Amino acid sequence: MKYKYSVITSVRNGLGFFIRSFKSVISADFSGPVEYFVIDDASDGILRKFLERAKSDIENPLIDFKMIRNIEKLGVIKSRNKALDLATGEYIVQVDSDVILHKDWESGVMKYLEIPDTVAAGPSGSYIWPDWSNFNYAGEKALAGDYVDMLMGFFWVWKNLQPGEWKYDEEFGEFWHEEAELQFRMKRETGRRLIKCDQVADHLCQPSEWKASKDIWRQHDKNLAAVVNRYKPLVEEGEIRLENIPSRADEKSPHILSSHVEFGTQEIKFSG
């Protein structure tokens, strides 16, 4: 079967969130055949039992449910990549296990991906400002239809122009910004752009609820710096507007580290 969409979700435990995500995907409107990959990253028995009967809950004949089970925990990046090795859909739809997909999501995304010079779309996008101030990873200042530098990774859709080749860089491990690296790579290899779509997905687990050590958040920021440095030549050539990195301490969000960032001919450096 020729699939229009390959939907990919990696999950490890977290049954409460995942059930809501799963039900939203199987209830969503699709205009063509879908292969729905769920990668079970060595979850406990409760989630395993749910997944064993999940296929019987799918009534939409367009959805072909494909479960991949890891014998041992591999992490979200390697798990997604296992599905990307197999995905043949015209479009890849990345849906995290704590994301609710709106029923009419397609109408709010595909009108933007039909624009010839786009390669990927998502409901949240970031501008990175030239003076390195007001880093806006959530994309509150970007409007639907705006070209942006980065898309949030909890939900985004891309044209599967290089099946089996566009995968997440496992160097970034569990510390995020793997989606930024992949998005910049797509821009470099295609010359196409990222675009913010309509708000068609809800993220159940918000950053304010995340629990992590300062060391983890420091690595999180360094990963973004690594992406910037890797693609600096593209920035300087004007192909990617790389505009901002986290540079402030936010008392309301103590996980955001106080960092000093410089960009130009120098490497990005963090202090504090």
**47-94 residue pLDDT tens:** 989 999 999 999 999 999 999 999 999 999 999 999 999 999 999 999
Q: What is the largest CA-CA distance in the chain?
A: 57
Closest CA to 41 of 10, 87, 7, 84: 10
Pairwise CA distance, residues 159 & 157, whole Å: 7
pTM of the model: 0.82
pLDDT the model gives residue 241: 46
Pairwise CA distance, residues 152 & 139, whole Å: 8
pLDDT > 70 in the chain, percent: 71
Instruction: Output the DSSP codes for 103-117.
Output: TTHHHHHHHHHTSTT
Token pair for 158 = 């891309």
**136-146 residue pLDDT tens:** 443 456 788 88
